[in-house]
């Protein structure tokens, strides 16, 4: 999975920078989402891997499926993916594009794992505290996880703040074992 993300990175960055420069972030995001869904279809995936399907035939077929006005440069981007045999990276490109877009808009997606539902007041205070500390707008998702015993685990990308009882017990066990 990491390898696919690594391969997708230059394509997602180029797509993001191009769409930002041409004020078409929303259109590109919509079309990358559609392309990603399309690539995950079994019939289309089988078509892509056939040895007799040329990149130009693949591009023409996909453009017919899109059946809409594509943003400036998107068909060239699609052609590049097909020529380089990177079309299967569409889901990773879409995900990374959305991450670039969220960073541009200063919105940070955060997942908070807790043992029980938060009240509206707790959720509001948590969101405000995170927004203040991180100096970003926060998009928060709450996940219930009874394995934590208590406390919370806050995750965003590579950042993890483990303030759960389970995490503290694991740290204690590690220190006792050393």
Model pLDDT, residue 110: 92
Asked whether residue 19 falls in the same domain as residue 86, the answer is: yes
Diameter of the chain by CA atoms?
63
Q: What is the pLDDT of residues 148-169, one digit of tens each?
A: 999 999 998 778 889 888 888 8
Q: How confident is the model at residue 107 (pLDDT cuts 50, 70, 90)?
A: confident
**Per-residue confidence (pLDDT) for residue 1, from 0 to 100:** 52
- Domain co-membership, 96 together with 123: no
Q: What is the CATH number of the domain that holds 16?
A: 1.10.520.20
Q: What is the pLDDT of residue 104?
A: 83
Tally of domains in the chain: 2
Per the model's pLDDT, the better-predicted residue between 36 and 109 turns out to be 36
pLDDT at 115 over 90: yes
Q: How far apart are the C-alpha atoms of 24 and 164, rounded to whole Å?
A: 42
In the predicted structure, residue 136 carries a pLDDT above the cut 70? yes
CA angle 67, 68, 70 (to 5 degrees): 125
DSSP, collapsed to helix, strand or coil, labels residue 96 as helix
Comparison of pLDDT for 67 and 37, the residue scoring more: 37
pLDDT recorded at residue 2 = 58
What contacts 24+ positions apart, CB below 8 Å, involve 160-168? 164/113
pLDDT category, 108, cuts 50, 70, 90? confident
For tokens 């017919």, what's the residue?
A: 64
Assess whether 97 and 111 both reside in one domain. Answer: no
Query: What are 4-60's pLDDT values in tens digits?
Result: 889 999 999 999 999 999 989 999 999 999 999 999 999 988 988 888 999 999 999
Same domain, yes or no: 7 and 84: yes
Q: Which residues are within 8 A (CB) of 134 and not within 5 positions of it... i.e. 6 or more apart?
A: 108
Domain hosting 136: range is 107-177
Q: Count CA atoms within 13 Å of residue 63 on its CB side.
A: 17
The reported pTM is 0.63
Residues 160 and 112 in one domain: yes
Residues 67 and 80 in one domain: yes
Q: How far apart are the first and last CA of the chain?
A: 33
What average pLDDT does range 89-116 have in this prediction?
91
């Amino acid at each position: 999975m990491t390898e696919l993300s690594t391969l997708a990175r230059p394509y997602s960055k180029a797509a993001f920078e191009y769409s930002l420069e041409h004020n078409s972030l929303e259109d590109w995001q919509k079309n990358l989402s559609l392309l990603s869904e399309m690539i995950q279809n079994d019939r289309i995936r089988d078509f892509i891997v056939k040895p007799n399907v040329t990149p130009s035939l693949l591009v023409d077929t996909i453009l017919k499926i899109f059946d809409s006005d594509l943003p400036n440069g998107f068909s060239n981007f699609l052609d590049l993916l097909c020529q380089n045999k990177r079309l299967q990276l569409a889901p990773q490109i879409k995900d990374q594009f959305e991450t670039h877009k969220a960073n541009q808009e200063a919105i940070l997606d955060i997942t908070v794992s807790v043992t029980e539902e938060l009240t509206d007041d707790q959720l509001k205070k948590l969101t405000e505290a995170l927004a203040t500390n991180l100096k970003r707008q926060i998009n928060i998702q709450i996940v219930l996880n009874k394995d934590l015993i208590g406390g919370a685990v806050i995750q965003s990308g590579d950042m993890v703040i483990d303030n759960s009882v389970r995490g503290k017990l694991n740290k204690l066990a590690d220190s006792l074992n050393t």
